[in-house]
Structure 1
């Protein structure tokens, strides 16, 4: 097929509202994907925009995130090839729940924090009905769209602040963003067609996981490219803080405490990549476990820890490294993407080795990269 590489680009990824999302950087990242890629791992998938690019390119995709609400996006848009939510599914999701008594978490914990009581009760009712959907992909799609609807309703699109209801009563902010006062149900119904229309079959067996990447890597094989977009330690790394409500809603915690003004769950899940005390040893483990994956692309930021030079030295133990940079002209939220900061891409190729007698000599080896535009 002529232009076979672009046969899936008529499908559009629903635009995320996610700190650190690479949605606007996809054309830039795409330039550095090796030509011979057939299978790709997105290890810290977040919004799933890079995984979706891999799927559009026809790769077999393994996508992973240690937060379950992100995994649900992966199941809905990457692993799923043809299942959508239809009218009868919406009737089921919106009907009065038969076991509503067991689903009051949002109303009891988050009323007057992020939502008025009526909206909190709607969210609990919707969540009670999700397991009634007869297909796991439909369930994942329901989680994905309702979670996105919540970020649309909240100023700044995250839950790391306590100003949601203040902003929802500010006429000037409402002028700029009417979703602040729109019912979540209405936002959901508006967003759903975009998600339904984004689902396609790229003729590959794609898979979404919900694991710490250090636990997943030993279980997978035959991957050509690993894309690593870890939390930018010492920058905007606290995704459990920013998006705690979405994880709470998806998991519907029964064994957590809800602390401070934003009612964040405690204890948090262990990442290994968001605290200075852990991050260097975690990267060393990550790279050691990825030795059998020939090519790596690593997204980073010039405000992150460890610094660029130290991080390059760490990577260089395992791969040849070329550094690409892109400067943010406008802030996108979070310390790591303020205007003037730099997005870094470490383009990592195998160290070529050959034998000379009994010794091994390492030579620089450069992969051929795709340079055409998006």
Structure 2
């Protein structure tokens, strides 16, 4: 939702100026910033409290050499290894065609036999395939015909998507000579709290309602574990998962959560925080909070467009994206 890809040139310059050997990306999301840090030569700890971002980071940041060979891609795209039908029956009539839902079950019948980075890569390719095929990339609605605008991503079958996305993920794999790691957990539980650089990109607390990532990405989260050890809210039309509380998503708890994050990384070389001008608290308050642990705080405002979709006609919202840079 945040389209951090557009901010990468700015982040690259900031990270290069800070320098160092080790970095933490505490809210990794799509993993694009963790990957940038790896490209820039850091040993990266990539973290998220959801499972599917942790899988993506394992495949692209922690993994330095393993790829999916063509025979395995063909096998996953071939006939099913068993007769499982969980996705077909649970999501009957939702999100995808019957053929696409059959493919997801079939793909998982093969993925279940994989281990290590091959499993991470295959799950990542499946996640990205589902996100690309779903109009707007989120799973808060069930009628996709409203957004069926004829773009290629919506025309491809999920099987065709998977073949392309598997090759895309293969192309991301490289070694920078450092050892990186991907983990799933809360920001306050990250053990590497004295790196040279910490990047924080928490959910932005809106002035009203909340910023619930599970509501938007529940299908991707479930898909990443084949809905094992998660609870589907059966009474919901979208079959979403139970909400997992995060203090960053609510205006009543965001200030304390930010301060606790800054305190957790108080001994890091530098703290870089991304935050939006249309969220709570405002820039002045965040600067005060970061200043409690880092005496020097620089604020950079970047004009930014948030894309609420995956195509050129999607509605966009002009805001400023702030980069707060705290140093000793």
- TM (norm. structure 1) is 0.80
Alpha-carbon spacing, 1:36–1:111, altered in 2? closer, same or farther (3 Å): same
Give the 4+ runs in structure 1 shifted more than 6 A: none
Alignment-derived partner of residue 179 in structure 2: 205
| Kept in 1: contact 2:77–2:163 (CA 8 A) | no
Quote the offset at 1:42 in angstroms. Answer: 0.4
Tell me the distance in 2 between the aligned counterparts of 1:154 and 1:36: 39
Alignment-derived partner of residue 236 in structure 2: 260
Quote the offset at 1:270 in angstroms. Answer: 2.5
| Kept in 1: contact 2:34–2:46 (CA 8 A) | yes
Residue among 35, 42, 47 paired with 2:25: 42
Alignment-derived partner of residue 354 in structure 1: none
Alignment-derived partner of residue 147 in structure 1: 127
1:215 equivalenced with 2:189 (yes/no): yes
| Kept in 2: contact 1:21–1:47 (CA 8 A) | no
Alignment-derived partner of residue 39 in structure 2: 56
> Secondary structure of the equivalent of 2:24?
strand
1:181 equivalenced with 2:155 (yes/no): yes
> Secondary structure of the equivalent of 2:241?
strand
Quote the offset at 1:310 in angstroms. Answer: 1.7
Tell me the distance in 1 between the aligned counterparts of 2:257 and 2:123: 30
Tell me the distance in 2 between the aligned counterparts of 1:300 and 1:20: 10
| Kept in 2: contact 1:287–1:315 (CA 8 A) | yes
Tell me the distance in 1 between the aligned counterparts of 2:14 and 2:24: 15
What are the equivalent positions in structure 2 for 1:185-334 lying under 5 Å apart? 185-216=159-190, 219-234=191-206, 237-254=211-228, 255-258=230-233, 259-266=235-242, 268-319=243-294, 320-328=296-304, 330-333=305-308
Quote the offset at 1:166 in angstroms. Answer: 4.7
Quote the offset at 1:239 in angstroms. Answer: 1.7
Tell me the distance in 2 between the aligned counterparts of 1:140 and 1:247: 14
Q: Any stretches of 5+ residues in structure 2 without a counterpart?
A: 310-314
| Kept in 1: contact 2:138–2:216 (CA 8 A) | yes
Alpha-carbon spacing, 1:305–1:230, altered in 2? closer, same or farther (3 Å): same
What are the equivalent positions in structure 2 for 1:329-348 lying under 5 Å apart? 330-333=305-308, 338-348=316-326
Alignment-derived partner of residue 71 in structure 1: 54
> Secondary structure of the equivalent of 1:193?
helix
> Secondary structure of the equivalent of 1:62?
strand
Quote the offset at 1:87 in angstroms. Answer: 1.6
1:29 equivalenced with 2:7 (yes/no): no
Quote the offset at 1:165 in angstroms. Answer: 4.4
Tell me the distance in 2 between the aligned counterparts of 1:222 and 1:347: 16
Tell me the distance in 1 between the aligned counterparts of 2:293 and 2:18: 21
Quote the offset at 1:129 in angstroms. Answer: 1.6
Choose 255-264 or 48-57, whichever is displaced more: 255-264
Higher-Rg structure is 1
Cα offsets for 1:256-289 (capped at 9, x unmatched): 13342222112x2222211223222222221111
> Secondary structure of the equivalent of 1:276?
coil
Q: What is the count of residue pairs matched by the alignment?
A: 317
Quote the offset at 1:331 in angstroms. Answer: 4.6
Q: Any stretches of 5+ residues in structure 1 without a counterpart?
A: 1-18, 351-374
- TM (norm. structure 2) is 0.90
Quote the offset at 1:221 in angstroms. Answer: 4.8
